[in-house]
Amino acid sequence: MSEHPFQLAVILGSVRDGRIGPTVADWFVGETAHRTDVLVDLVDLAGVPIGSAAPTMAPPSEVLAALRELTPRLDAADAFVVVTPEYNHSYPAGLKNVIDWHHTQFHAKPVAFVSYGGMSGGLRAVEHLRAVFAELHAVTTRDTVSFHNVWEQFDGDGRPKDPQRPAAAAKTLLDQVAWWARALRHARATSPYRAMGSAR
């Protein structure tokens, strides 16, 4: 284990019944096991009972309870990887809702993407998410991992049928995330980030 590993929150954005998202997320978390510089917290939004409640100054008690558990986990992260499908050329509403409940948790932190879908592999969802995270003062990495026609990509044990290509992509993504996580963690510690122009 690295002396100062960075904390990575892997956010699983799909909450639909019958989703393949857990297969993709579990595979990615398995790829992080090859490294000694990262500690992973898998945040499955299906277990975060916020529902469609929009951000409000007086959230319902069940939403408050969910946020009391979720928000500290996002606060603790030095970096994020968002695992997202593509729904109608964009990302899931539940993912956007959770993002909208938070703001400072993403400031001056790197965000990377593992996407999946049909022919596009979820890449249109990723492009939309880049704009969202830019508004939250986060830094998105260039490289992604994408699974095109995802239902054909994994075997019955949840392993990629062609493991080399996604493993290489995951390593590139994690190398970039690790660099940004270390650099921005040091920067936040020595010169706290102040977001200008925030609506909050």
Where are the chain's structural domains? 6-190
Long-range contacts, 158-161 (Cβ 8 Å, 24+): 158/23, 158/26, 158/27, 159/27, 160/27
Q: How many residues does the chain have?
A: 200
pLDDT, residue 196, reads 72
80, with CB counted inside 10 A (0-12, 13-18, 19+), is buried
More confident: 36 or 196: 36
Residue 157: pLDDT band by 50, 70, 90 thresholds?
A: very high
- Residues 81-100: b if buried by 16+ CB within 10 A, e if exposed: bbbbbbbeebbbebbebbbe
pLDDT at 198 over 60: no
pLDDT band at 7 (very low <50, low <70, confident <90, very high): very high
Residue 18, CA atoms < 13 Å, CB-side half-sphere: 1
Beta bridge partners of 42: 10
Q: How confident is the model at residue 165 (pLDDT cuts 50, 70, 90)?
A: very high
DSSP state letters, 141-156: -S--EEETTGGGTB-T
Per-residue pLDDT tens over the stretch 60-86:
889 999 999 999 999 999 999 999 999
Which tens digits make up the pLDDT trace of 81-117?
999 999 999 999 999 999 999 999 999 999 999 999 9
Q: Are the C-beta atoms of residues 29 and 40 closer than 8 Å to each other?
A: yes
- Where do we find the tokens 């909050």? 200
- What is the per-residue pLDDT for 171? 98
Confidence of residue 59 (pLDDT cuts 50, 70, 90): confident
Q: Is 187 helix (H, G, I), strand (E, B) or coil?
A: helix
C-alpha span between 25 and 28 (Å, rounded): 5
pLDDT of residue 50: 86
74 and 3 Cβ atoms separated by less than 8 Å = no
Supply the mean pLDDT for the chain: 94
Q: 6-190 architecture in CATH?
A: 3-Layer(aba) Sandwich (3.40)
Q: Is the pLDDT of residue 2 over 80?
A: no
